[in-house]
């Protein structure tokens, strides 16, 4: 049975059992404890936490998930994926243990022609929490599973909670016996390779405190309503139903391995465990990377972006180690699209953008590998120069951590160079890094905010937003909240939160910051500083009471600051103009990756590889302003999500939209986006759009900033005044300023070059004096001196090379230590004759470096670096002389 069919049967089974089918949430979810969605229940957490009343009592979904706890273990075991599909059914205070067990058993064992999976009941084993005999009794009674195939386990295996205080409960896990060829008999407690877990049923009934029942601690309470949360691993069920040995050989994963075999010329499953792991890494990571990019993640140096970057780089590394010399990312991502798109159409509709991001990162990493190879060669030369055979673990770790150079390639290249690597030292540093990351992640984990105070109002329904039609609205004060507690009244000087039944003030969303305004009544004036949403539906006004007293139940007037709103609509509509202009100039791959707009200003982030040219920036600005001048009408309408997308409306990646969406259309096909923000009535009201600049905010993400309206005019007036001032100073008309400035810059470059030549000549003029002061130590001539003040960098290297050359074939060593800008640069140079006597520049650096707090490296004939302690220069020069004397005997 194909994986897409497994998904369909699961959803059909639960829909027929009265469940509402809910679409998968984005992998990027607004949860402070999660980097990515990692379980099917994540989007339902507000219901389980009691923060919102669920709109249905039963739900079912197939949630896309990513878990990245131990990326380096992927492929080593054959049952884990970083990306996987979690099919689940959920009950919110409806059915409980018996209902969950019955529904799961029916789907697993029901014959194929009746819509089930047709799995042999005799091969099913289950586990239950050691303190939950009720679950075991239900399995015996409902499913007829005999006592010997029901096993009890402790909380570490069979109790679930969120890792922080909140709901939790015992689990019952379903296992499939793959047969004696896969391991020992005795059930899951003996061998979890033979007995494969395919489904976990969580009976959510407890309130967990600071200490988890998973570790034997008692729950602190009982949930008012008992809930069900289950998760069936789609890939694992595919393994069972397709009769393959592991998840990497199922129908949606094996084709990527086949492509890797084709590109590398090596076979999978031919007996090389190392090769098989690399094939699995490629297949797993290619799927995960494509899904992450599809949901709007871009490679970066921290957070989600760093995870994606690691995945893509591991693909490149694995392919290289398998023998692929040419770029291969395009082929892998294409296979992922072809296999996964039937369930995830975004992989097809947004393929070019996904491909461009993945291929761009591959190209960048291949360049990193080239530079990394050079860094490795330097490190290897230093090791050999010191007469050693082992590259330090710290060096290998620096290559891996700082430069992104994989340890596998370091090991391979070390072997080719006749060296080894201190792998224990490297692994130790890696373990320390992982522990720091885990500690940091744990520190960032937080208890879920107590939103109980808002629940009553969330459950009432959405705050009526009147701001599309009016700026002043009559409203009733539903509640006043201070520090998470409802209060009956607030007086002058108090900062509180106000909940109204209706409001014209825009709550921050979609990149548009919140409105400001006032709440007034008889003898009352309250300044509204901010408006935020709770559960995406409840408007919470953050206010300061300036006059009078506000009380729950008051009838008031809520009023938006009209000037603020006018500027805000210009900024938001201007953002749409810039987005449309970007896509017109750059093409459809310039996809929104975030935005911020406020009165008079906007910034817009978009997916793009490489800096924009001046011509492109000018074209974008021109297209946006042409649309402004055209005075396009701005139309808004509400429709269903599918229809909006079919019309070509743009959506923001990572955003979870409801069934009904608001579409903002400006100029017909020119701009059409899903948007809940406030906008101008006609495009001309935006005023001039002036791009301020364009920059990088991460790998594959660019940012443009712009002024609109009066802010744009003020900026241009300031620029005009600045240009006029420069023209006056240069005594030329404004239109001639660029040419004149270019002339001055060229003259300055010539003058700087002449100055450098003069400076270099002066430095080299002193070379003869150094030669005359050379010391003879044994059969060697040594120049060990402090360099002239201010001489550093290339000048110091040039001087040392010149001095060394003046000794001809006589063995000579030159050591010059300078002092410039608070640093202590140095150069060591040894000619061929000195090297033949045993002098190596790197050895001398090791001898004197500690005296000046410095380190450096290079080759036997030349080494350089820098220190930090100029007071140690005399001691450093003495150390040089002592070391040369030792070498000279």
Which pair of tokens denotes residue 555? 């009838």
pLDDT at 440: 55
More confident: 78 or 680: 680
DSSP one-letter string for 670-709: GEEEE--S---SBGGGG--EEEEEEEEEETTEEEEEEEEH
Task: Find the mean pLDDT for residues 540-558.
Answer: 95
Per-residue pLDDT band at 656 (split at 50, 70, 90):
low
Task: Find the mean pLDDT for residues 669-696.
Answer: 93
Per-residue pLDDT band at 577 (split at 50, 70, 90):
very high
Beta strands in 787-861 (DSSP E): 812-817, 824-830, 855-859
The answer to whether 469 and 505 have CB atoms below 8 angstroms apart is no
| Cβ-Cβ contacts under 8 Å for 267 (sequence gap 6 or more) | 261
Q: How many CB atoms lie within 10 A of CB 595?
A: 22
Binding residues for Zn(2+): 572, 576, 675, 679
Q: Is the pLDDT of residue 171 over 60?
A: yes
CA distances from 101 to 108, 199, 201, 590 (A): 11, 11, 8, 48
Q: How many CB atoms lie within 10 A of CB 511?
A: 21
Name the average pLDDT for the chain: 89
Adjacent-strand bridge partners of 464: 502
Region of poorest pLDDT, from 99-103, 461-465, 795-799:
795-799
Phi and psi based region of residue 241 (left: phi greater than 0; alpha: psi -120 to 50; beta: remaining): alpha
Q: Is the pLDDT of residue 696 over 90?
A: no
Give the pLDDT confidence of 585-612 residue by residue, as tens digits.
Answer: 998 888 888 899 999 999 999 888 788 9
Q: What separation, in Å, do the N-terminal and C-terminal C-alpha atoms of the chain show?
A: 80
pLDDT at 72: 72
Q: Is the pLDDT of residue 737 over 70?
A: yes
State the helix-helix crossing angle for 303-321 and 273-294, rounded to 10 degrees. 140
Which pair of tokens denotes residue 404? 């992104």
Per-residue pLDDT band at 688 (split at 50, 70, 90):
very high
CA 182 from centre of chain? 38
Per-residue pLDDT band at 448 (split at 50, 70, 90):
low
Give the pLDDT confidence of 797-831 residue by residue, as tens digits.
Answer: 888 888 888 888 899 999 999 887 778 889 999 99
Q: Is the pLDDT of residue 668 over 90?
A: no
Which pair of tokens denotes residue 794? 């290339």
Q: How far is 235 from 339, CA to CA, in rounded Å?
A: 14
Q: Is the pLDDT of residue 762 over 70?
A: no
Per-residue pLDDT band at 446 (split at 50, 70, 90):
very low
Task: Find the mean pLDDT for residues 718-741.
Answer: 87
pLDDT at 351: 93
Q: How far is 357 from 309, CA to CA, in rounded Å?
A: 10
Q: How far is 245 from 500, CA to CA, in rounded Å?
A: 59
pLDDT at 554: 95
Angle at 274 between CA 270 and CA 276, to 5 degrees: 50
Which pair of tokens denotes residue 861? 């004939």
| Cβ-Cβ contacts under 8 Å for 646 (sequence gap 6 or more) | none
Q: How many CB atoms lie within 10 A of CB 442?
A: 10
Share of the chain above pLDDT 70, in %: 95
pLDDT at 276: 94
Q: Is the pLDDT of residue 119 over 90?
A: yes
pLDDT at 368: 78
DSSP 148: G
DSSP 55: S
SS3 202: strand
pLDDT at 468: 94
Q: How far is 518 from 520, CA to CA, in rounded Å?
A: 6
pLDDT at 444: 46
Adjacent-strand bridge partners of 660: 640
The answer to whether 786 and 818 have CB atoms below 8 angstroms apart is yes
The answer to whether 847 and 880 have CB atoms below 8 angstroms apart is yes
DSSP one-letter string for 471-512: SEEEEEEEEEEETTEEESEEETT-EEEEEESEESSPPSBTTB
CA 688 from centre of chain? 35
Q: How far is 849 from 826, CA to CA, in rounded Å?
A: 9
pLDDT at 653: 64
Task: Find the mean pLDDT for residues 91-96.
Answer: 96
Q: Is the pLDDT of residue 788 over 80?
A: no
The answer to whether 706 and 601 have CB atoms below 8 angstroms apart is yes
Q: Is the pLDDT of residue 238 over 90?
A: yes
Per-residue pLDDT band at 441 (split at 50, 70, 90):
low
Q: Are strands 701-708 and 660-666 parallel, antiparallel or unpaired?
A: unpaired
Which pair of tokens denotes residue 332? 């892998």
Q: How far is 374 from 550, CA to CA, in rounded Å?
A: 70
Give the pLDDT confidence of 316-359 residue by residue, as tens digits.
Answer: 989 988 999 899 999 999 999 999 999 999 999 889 989 988 99
Per-residue pLDDT band at 449 (split at 50, 70, 90):
low
Binding residues: 572, 576, 675, 679
Q: How far is 550 from 302, CA to CA, in rounded Å?
A: 45
């Amino acid at each position: 049975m194909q994986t897409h069919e497994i998904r369909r049967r699961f959803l059909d089974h639960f829909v027929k059992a009265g469940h509402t089918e809910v679409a998968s949430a984005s992998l990027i979810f607004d949860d402070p404890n999660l980097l990515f969605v990692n379980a099917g229940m994540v989007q339902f957490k507000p219901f389980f936490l009691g923060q919102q009343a669920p709109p249905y009592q039963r739900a079912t979904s197939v949630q896309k998930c990513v878990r990245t706890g131990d990326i380096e273990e992927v492929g080593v075991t054959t049952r884990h994926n970083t990306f996987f599909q979690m099919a689940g059914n959920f009950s919110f205070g409806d059915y409980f243990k018996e209902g969950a067990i019955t529904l799961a058993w029916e789907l697993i064992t029901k014959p194929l022609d009746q819509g089930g999976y047709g799995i042999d009941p005799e091969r099913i084993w289950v586990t239950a929490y050691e303190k939950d005999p009720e679950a075991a009794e239900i399995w015996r009674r409902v499913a007829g599973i005999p006592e010997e195939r029901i096993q009890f386990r402790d909380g570490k295996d069979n109790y679930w909670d969120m890792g922080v205080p909140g709901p939790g409960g015992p689990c019952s896990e379903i296992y499939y016996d793959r047969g004696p060829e896969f391991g020992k008999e005795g059930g899951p407690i003996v061998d979890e390779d033979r007995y494969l877990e395919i489904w976990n049923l969580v009976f959510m009934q407890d309130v967990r405190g600071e200490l988890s029942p998973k570790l034997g601690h008692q729950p602190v309470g009982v949930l008012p309503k008992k809930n069900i949360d289950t998760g069936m691993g789609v890939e694992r069920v595919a393994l069972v139903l397709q009769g393959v040995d592991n998840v990497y050989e199922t129908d949606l994963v094996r084709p990527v391995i086949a492509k890797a075999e084709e590109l590398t010329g090596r076979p999978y499953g031919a007996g090389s465990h190392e090769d098989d792991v690399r094939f699995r890494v490629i297949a797993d990571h290619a799927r995960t990377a494509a899904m992450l990019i599809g949901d709007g993640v871009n490679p970066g140096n921290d957070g989600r972006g760093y995870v994606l970057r690691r995945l893509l780089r591991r693909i490149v590394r694995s392919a290289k180690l398998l023998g692929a010399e040419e770029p291969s990312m395009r082929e892998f991502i294409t296979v992922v699209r072809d296999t996964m798109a039937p369930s995830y159409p975004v992989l097809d509709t947004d393929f070019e953008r996904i491909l461009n991001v993945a291929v761009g990162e591959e190209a960048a990493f291949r360049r990193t590998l080239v530079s990394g190879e050079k860094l490795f060669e330097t490190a290897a030369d230093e090791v050999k120069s010191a007469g050693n055979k082992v590259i330090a673990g710290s060096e290998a770790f620096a290559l891996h951590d700082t430069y992104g150079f994989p340890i596998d390639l370091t090991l391979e290249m070390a072997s080719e160079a006749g060296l080894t690597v201190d792998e224990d030292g490297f692994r130790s540093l890696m373990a320390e890094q992982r522990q720091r990351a885990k500690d940091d992640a744990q520190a960032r984990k937080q208890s879920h905010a107590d939103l109980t105070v808002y629940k009553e109002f969330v459950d009432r329904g959405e705050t009526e937003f009147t701001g599309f039609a009016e700026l002043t609205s009559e409203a009733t004060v539903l509640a006043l909240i201070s520090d998470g507690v409802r209060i009956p009244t607030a007086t002058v000087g108090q900062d509180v939160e106000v909940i109204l039944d209706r409001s014209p003030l825009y709550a921050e969303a979609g990149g548009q910051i919140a409105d400001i305004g006032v709440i007034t009544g008889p003898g009352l004036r309250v300044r509204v500083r901010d408006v935020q949403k709770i559960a995406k539906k409840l408007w919470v006004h953050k206010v300061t009471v300036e006059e009078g007293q506000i009380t729950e139940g008051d009838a008031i007037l809520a009023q938006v600051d009209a000037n603020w709103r006018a500027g805000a609509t210009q900024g938001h509509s201007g953002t749409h103009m810039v987005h449309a202009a970007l896509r017109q100039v750059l093409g459809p791959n310039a996809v929104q990756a975030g935005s911020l707009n406020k009165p008079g200003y906007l910034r817009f982030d978009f997916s793009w590889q490489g800096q924009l040219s001046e011509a492109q920036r000018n074209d974008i600005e021109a297209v946006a302003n042409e649309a402004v001048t055209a005075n396009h009408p701005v139309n808004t309408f509400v429709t269903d999500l599918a229809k909006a997308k079919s019309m070509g409306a743009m959506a923001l990646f990572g955003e979870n939209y409801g069934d009904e969406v608001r579409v903002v259309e400006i100029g017909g096909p020119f701009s059409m986006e899903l948007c809940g923000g406030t906008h101008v009535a006609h495009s001309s009201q935006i005023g001039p759009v002036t791009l301020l600049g364009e920059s990088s905010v991460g790998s594959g993400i660019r940012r443009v900033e712009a002024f609109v309206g009066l802010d744009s005019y003020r900026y241009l007036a300031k620029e005009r005044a600045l240009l006029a001032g420069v023209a006056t100073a240069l005594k030329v008309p404004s239109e001639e300023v660029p040419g004149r400035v270019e002339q001055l810059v060229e003259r300055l470059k010539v003058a700087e070059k002449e100055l450098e030549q003069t400076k270099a000549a002066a430095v080299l003029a002193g070379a003869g004096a150094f030669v005359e002061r050379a010391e003879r130590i044994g059969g060697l001539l040594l120049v060990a001196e402090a360099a002239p003040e201010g001489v550093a960098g290339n000048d110091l290297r040039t001087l040392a090379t010149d001095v060394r050359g003046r000794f001809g074939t006589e063995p000579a060593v030159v050591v010059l230590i300078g002092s410039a800008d608070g640093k202590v640069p140095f150069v060591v140079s040894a000619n061929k004759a000195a090297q033949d006597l045993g002098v190596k520049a790197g050895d001398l650096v090791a001898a004197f470096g500690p005296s000046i707090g410095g380190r450096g490296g290079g080759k036997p004939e030349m080494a350089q670096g820098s220190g930090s302690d100029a007071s140690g220069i005399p001691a450093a020069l003495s150390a040089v002389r002592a070391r040369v004397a030792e070498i000279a005997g």
